[in-house]
Amino acid sequence: MVEILLVVGLVVAAFVGYNIGGATTGPAFGPAVGAGVISKAGAAALMSVFFFIGAGTLGRRVVDTLGEDLITQPGVFTLESSIVVLFFIGGALFVGNYFGVPASTSMTAVGAIAGLGVATSSLDLAVMGSIAIWWLVAPIIGFWVSGVVGRYFYPRINRWVAIDGTEGPLLEFDRSGLLPRPSLGPNTTRREVVGAVVVVAIGCLMAFSSGTSNIANAIAPLVGAGVVEMNPMIVLGSAAVAVGAFTIARRTLDTLGNDITDLPLTAAIVVAVVSSGIVIGLSAIGIPASFVIIATMSIVGLGWGRATRTATVSEGIRGEAETNVAVSALAADEPGDEVVGIGEEDPDDIPAATDLFDPTTTARVVVLQNVVPLLSTIGAFVTFYLLFGFVW
């Protein structure tokens, strides 16, 4: 009987990893895919590799946090309870992925474990409180940092990097020889190549960060129950993430790369730097980061900042421009230098604010990113409350 339950637990853990791959590939590589720098298959491959590296290194610390620190009462994490927790984590994440919205795996996983802890009166409130506070603060930081960059600094950054995408493929491959030889596309500039390398590298960094914080969501319950070793579970979880990255992640890549806001290369770099910086900072202090929401709100903040930009900081200080917030205001950074879109400088093709920031899509994303963790938390609590006498 134990062997059968263990197999069930491993399958459910793999299902959770599968949905993690679908939920986190979008925030990591959505900007690069939306900018046309990398294909969805290439994003999935890089996600798989760097997630595994992050999981095998710093991810062990978060596994200990969720598997041992969050629940204070010994014996609460059994094989049976771990399976139930993983079931609600995977089921809730699948709902978000089905609708193309990458929900927070950390919030969903911690929510299910917290439901177990509340039902058994074994939740460490101090640990839960510190995690919850950072979950509230981090997305706000991501939104406003990106918003400030988009509103005041983006035109200058765009001139520095000057890596607007050109028509046609970034690279072409000569397959006449034994091995394909890459060459620049017909319209590709060297600065565009540099920008592409930068944004893909930052995506890899975000994938690494996702591995450090999200591997625990798939394997911590079983590892905490003491029924499996950590190393083989890291391999299993990372493999399941890879499958999710190559399949269901296509929906979230579309959502974060195309639907919320228009993201040329410069914008993709800004979003990646802001969100990955926050995630790494949280991982350094042992907080399981809400990777998806931080990255999503960073994208939303940048789109909002660009759509409401009226002046740069220096212009505002000198009193040379109005700084009132107006959704329709897309003013020039300097006279004659009109930056009318995120990374686009074409005065003859001025987009509306809704082209930079889609309120409908954003509302759908924000709502579902809160509903999914609630499904996991409430489902786990009700189940363990009803089964309290049977399980323990």
Confidence at residue 100, expressed as pLDDT on a 0 to 100 scale? 65
Q: Given a cut of 60, is residue 256 above it in pLDDT?
A: no
Residue 343 has pLDDT above 50, yes or no: no
Tell me the per-residue pLDDT of 110-122, one tens digit each, with 9 for 90 and over.
998 999 888 888 8
Instruction: Give the range with max mean pLDDT: 24-33, 66-75, 239-248.
Output: 239-248
Compute the average pLDDT of residues 86-105.
76
- The CA-based angle 376-380-385, given to 5 degrees, is 155
Cβ-based neighbours of 128, under 8 Å, separated by 6 or more: 70, 110, 114, 117
- Indicate whether 342 pLDDT > 50: no
> Would the pLDDT of 233 be above 90?
yes
Residue with tokens 């990591």: 28
* pLDDT confidence tier of residue 99, bands split at 50, 70 and 90: confident
Tens of pLDDT, residue by residue over 283-297, are 777 778 776 678 778
Give residue 329's pLDDT band: very low, low, confident or very high (50, 70, 90): very low
Residue 125: Cβ within 10 Å count:
12
